[in-house]
Each structure stands twice: as structure tokens, then as C-alpha cells.
Structure 1
């Protein structure tokens, strides 16, 4: 857990970090967030995360809390004060504090909070070696999933159902029977011909930063990826399945609902892609 948090201009001990009860993030989920991986002391894909943060703010018409360079300084200071070598930094921006009313308040300063925590690299590596299981659930979220909003209740319900069923993640399915994404991840399959497939970005899914980085790396290596929607049937009968996120990197999936994927062990393509992404992280790109 973060020992030092940043709250609206102050670095505070975590136990003393508070926001106002009329912060619109608390009352309306009127805010956005980003999670950036820290690996060997380096921020991974920082520019991509900040680009997405600014896009989310723009879509909700929330002013940026500060310019990018000062924000980058605060990020590094939070990492330094918490002695993070491998971990994550979490930042959240809300519309700010105002008397409770649905319309946007006038002249309200946005609120910024930031925390950091360590991650267990050995534990993450073990998951990759063994693979994880996922379940499928109906996608009940709102129609603007491209915005990284703090309004995550449907995601939380999906993640909890996965946990209750002994699974790592829940892949959500739209009304047409097509897989959208995980509750906190992007979904990928490898078909029986060895073709890598992932859904196209739109308002239906979040444009994952890890997803984008992996796509760039694969393009540079001349590896073909098919960008299209895929069904639950394709998912359950895929040669390989994996997911991507800032904290999971590239993580093989060995079971979907009651269907064992492949031979029940992480596939060679998924493991190769994980290695490609880890090389990207090590390169400091």
C-alpha cells in the first residue's frame, strides 16, 4: 500500500489522505483514472497513459488538473517517496468539490489524487506459467466504455462473480454474442490456424495501453493480427486465449467457463507474446 499519497497539491501519509464528502467523484463517479506500471523504476508507456487520460478528461469536459510536465513530476515524486521499483501508480481526476447537483458546477477546480504500491513479480510470473481461468458474463455496462471512468460498478460485479467461481477474470459479452473485453483487461484469442485476433477499438471497449503496445511490437516484427469481433464459441474453442492489461502484461488463459483451452497449459504463442512485451518493457520504450 502507498505510504505517501498526493492529494490536491499535498504529499500526505496515506492514513491522513482524504477528499471532501462533496467531491463529485464520490457522489457521482464524475471522474477518470489511470494506472501506470512501474518496472525497474521506469514508467511503462507513460505517454500513452497520459494521452488516454487527457482524452477521457476531454470526453467528460473535465479540465486537466495541471499541465503534463508538472503531472509527470508529481508521478515521479510519488514513486520516489514510496520507494517503488516494481509496482503501479494510480491517479484519479474528478470534476472537483461542489454542492450536490447533477449539472456541471461553475468555476470548480478539478481534484487530483495519486497513490502507488508495489507488485509481486514472482507471483505474476507464476500466474503466467500456470495460466488462468476466465468466465463469460453479459456486458451490462454503459455505452461509453472508451472513457476510463471511475464508474466501475458493473466491472466490480463481474470481477467478484469471477472470484466467486474461482476464476481470475470475467470476459463480457454483448447482445450479439460477441466478446467485448474483460472486467479490467482486453481479450485476445489465437484461432486453430495460429492467427492472433482481438476486437477493434470503439465505444464498446477501452483502448488498452498494453494492447496498443503489443500491437505495435507485433507489427514491427511482421506478425499478423486480425482486428475483428469474435464470438463466445470462437473463444471457447480457440487454440489459445490470453488477456492484456497494465498489471497482467500478457497473461495466458487455460480455461473459459467449463472449456479447457488447448491442452490446459499456456500456449507457445501466448508465452512468446508475453516475452515480446516484457522485452518492450525492459527496453524502456
Structure 2
């Protein structure tokens, strides 16, 4: 028999229920309440928020190290583009959102961490029409950051071709909360024992990883980046190209699987890992199966940039 509980009993039971991952939550904010909380048991979303049952929303994740948030403006600008693409306005100004992000990170009381920003259509019903929701929802969470072990950079990682196809071009440009293809890619990688999945578009050209951008260094030492037709433009990748520009040429073009396999280096760019080397693809070595100089230099420049240009709080 399923009991019908009184509000007080329901709330008491909810707050005493174990939540996986609660130990990593540092602080969070919800726009409806207008405040920051540090109790993970109270980090709850309304079930009728369309971000939950329709995937109608966008998100960003940014890193902070040494109490400095990296590329805050770049992440906000990309969220603006994603929100505009789905006709969604935040419940506050974009400048106010930046203030909230900084305050949530500070309330987390840790030197290093990640901030997840979720902007949704808002609560209002279980249909699909956006006009059910009178106001957009905004959730900001600071949580612990666990960096990649050093051996990932010293020895390199492995990758394979996933069976999950690249997203259609129009949706790939939006950092939507609907990450089901990305989840399935990661699941397949774990099942097959590879570190990173790589997906390809309908014409068999390189697109992206589950949550990362991929690019190559060709035999001439030039950085070749796949066109962003079926991939999300990554903030880390774009900043790395800027930092490397005085030292290394780069250009965008379509990359076939054969060119990927014969590259001198395969680079993986993402918020959490900065720049990582792929040394084996489909079980076969990339060049000499060791991390290359471009990857090492890219990460060196990114870490230096974080220290010099991260936003302190």
C-alpha cells in the first residue's frame, strides 16, 4: 500500500532520503527563491519544469581554479546564443546571471570547483507548449572538481568510433540539456573499454566527442579543426587556438576517419581536461603512441591563461 502523506511528513522523509552525489555539491541557487543554499538535500527541481520532462532548456559548465573562474564571458555568450536559438529569455539580466554565478562559487567555500548553470522554460505544466510556463527557470550549482590524473597527460588516452551518429547541424550548435546521444556515446565507450568516443556526421566526417571537441595535428604540424557543422563550438578549443596562434597555424576543414587515424596528434579539448592527447584510435597507435608537443603546449598555455585571466572571487 502506498501511503498518502501529510506535507510535514513528506518533507521530513524527503530531507532524510539519501542522495547520491550530495557530497560533491557545494552550493546552489534557484531563481524562484532568490537565494543560495549549501544543503544538497534541498537541491530540487519542480517536476513540471519543462527542462525536466521535455528537455526544454540550455546549460553551461565552467571551471574555477584558485578561486578564479575561467572564461566566464565566453560561457555566458554561448548560453546567450543557445537561449536565443530556442526562443528563451532568462528570468534576470545576463549581467545579473554573472553576479549569481560568482556568488554561488564563492558560497561553495572551495578554491577549485565547477559551476553548472541551467536555464529552462520553467514550471507550469506537463504539456509541450512553451506558453504553459509563465517564467523561465534558473538553477546555478557549484560542485567539486576532480581533475584528471596526471597519467592521462603523461601517457595519453584511447578513442574509438562510436555507433551513435553526430547530431543534426541545427541542434549541434545549441548546448541543450537534451544530452541523450552524448550519454549513449559515453556508455558505449565504457562498455568497450575506451576513454573517449568520437562521432561522425552522415558524410563520414569527424564531428565531436561526448562532451569534448576533437581536432588533429597533421603531418606538416598544422592544427586542423573539424568544421562546426555538426559539433558545438567549444570555449576551451577556441581559446586554445587563440593562445597557440602566434606559434602554430590552424584552419578549419572536414576531417575523414582516415585523416584522423594518420594524424601526428589527436587533441581533445574540454572544460574539465583542458587539452588531452589521444595516443590510440580503435586500438591502433597515433604516430608514435605518445603525447605530442602541440598537446603539451596547448595545455601549458591554457593553465597559464587561467592563472593570468581567470576572474577572481
**Cα distance in 1 for residues equivalent to 2:221 and 2:295:** 11
1:130 to 155, 165, 168: 155
Equivalent of 1:161 in 185, 188, 191:
188
- For the 8 Å contact 2:122–2:133, the answer to whether it is kept is no
Distance 2:110 2:206 in 1: 35
Name the counterpart of 1:262: 287
1:266-277 alignment runs, 5 A limit = 266-277=291-302
Decide which of 20, 24, 28 is 1:5's aligned counterpart. 28
2:16 maps to what in 1?
A: none
> In the TM superposition, what is the alpha-carbon distance from 1:5 to its structure 2 partner?
1.6
Residues 254-263 or 204-213, more deviating: 254-263
| Alignment partner of 1:54 is 2:76 | no
Between 100-109 and 260-269, report the one with greater CA deviation.
100-109
- Aligned partners of 1:212, 1:251: CA distance in 2, in Å? 15
Match of 1:89 among 99, 115, 127: 115
- Gaps (5+ residues) in structure 1? none
Q: Deviations over 1:38-70 (max 9, x none)?
A: 121111111110000111111100111211222
- Which one is further off, 265-274 or 182-191? 265-274
Q: Aligned pair 1:171/2:194, yes or no?
A: no
2:306 to 273, 277, 281: 281
Q: Is the 8 A contact 2:222 2:248 kept in 1?
A: no
Query: 1:222, 1:255 → 2: CA distance?
Result: 26
Q: Return closer, same or farther for 1:190/1:140 CA change in 2, 3 Å cut-off.
A: closer
Question: What does residue 89 of structure 2 align with?
Answer: 63
The aligned residue for residue 103 of structure 2 is 77
Partner of residue 238, structure 1: 263
DSSP 3-state at the match of 1:254: strand
Q: Considering only CA atoms, is the larger Rg found in Structure 1 or Structure 2?
A: 2
Residue 48 of structure 2 aligns to a residue whose secondary structure is coil
2:233 paired residue among 179, 185, 207: 207
- 1:222: Cα distance to partner? 4.3
2:144 maps to 118
Task: Please state how far the C-alpha of 1:106 moved relative to its aligned partner.
Answer: 5.2
CA 106–119 in structure 1, closer or farther in 2 if over 3 Å, else same: closer
Q: Which residue of 1 aligns with 2:19?
A: none
The root-mean-square deviation of aligned C-alpha atoms, in Å, is 1.5
* Structure 1 partner of 2:5: none
1:197 aligns to 2:224 (yes or no): yes
Q: How many matched pairs?
A: 282
Deviations 1:178-220 (A, max 9, x none): 1101110000111122121111223x1101001110111122x
The aligned residue for residue 13 of structure 2 is: none
Q: Do the aligned partners of residues 86 and 125 (structure 1) sit closer, same or farther apart at CA in structure 2, a change above 3 Å counting? A: farther
Q: Does the residue aligned with 2:96 lie in a helix, a strand or coil?
A: helix
Distance 1:208 1:84 in 2: 26
Query: TM-score under structure 2 normalisation?
Result: 0.86
What is the match of residue 100 of structure 1? 126
Question: Partner residue of 1:42?
Answer: 68
